[in-house]
Amino acid sequence: MNVVVDIADLAVSKDPESTLITFSLGSCIGVTIWDPVAKVGGMLHYMLPEATVSPEKAKKTPAMFCDTGVPKLFRSAYELGAVKRRLVVKVAGGSQLMDAAGTFNIGKRNYLA
């Protein structure tokens, strides 16, 4: 069963029938984690590096930001039995879109976060 991780969302699963997928990363970042022993996997699709730009949104939607979404992703995986030292972590995304001058540089800022 496919589990779609939307923008500013995360999912964690221990179900061997689940496949976590996301679409259209663009300047967003996708973070995946996998514990091969516990067979726990997770995915985060965050939009912005720091929750300080909107603390109220961060409380409501922590997966929108790197600094609130990544800890939540890891905590959720640990709750299902994942162990930090066994985790395989991969990151994708962070492109620069429609900002040729690099004024906002969201993709790069997301990657560096």
Query: Is residue 28 annotated as part of the catalytic site, yes or no?
Result: yes
Q: Which residue in the list 11, 12, 28, 82 is annotated as catalytic?
A: 28
Provide the pLDDT for residue 100: 60
Q: What is the mean pLDDT of the chain?
A: 92
Domains plus CATH for the chain?
Answer: 2-112 (3.30.1330.200)
pLDDT for residue 103 is more than 70: no
Residue with the bigger pLDDT between 52 and 104: it is: 52
SS3 readout for the chain: CEEECCCCEEEEECCCCCEEECCCCCCCEEEEEEECCCCEEEEEEECECCHHHCHHHHHHCHHHEHHHHHHHHHHHHHHCCCCHHHCEEEEEECCCCCCCCCCCCHHHHHHHC
Provide the pLDDT for residue 98: 64
Provide the pLDDT for residue 78: 99
Provide the pLDDT for residue 110: 73
Provide the pLDDT for residue 94: 87
Confidence of residue 97 (pLDDT cuts 50, 70, 90): low
Full-model pTM: 0.87
Provide the pLDDT for residue 99: 57
pLDDT for residue 35 is more than 80: yes
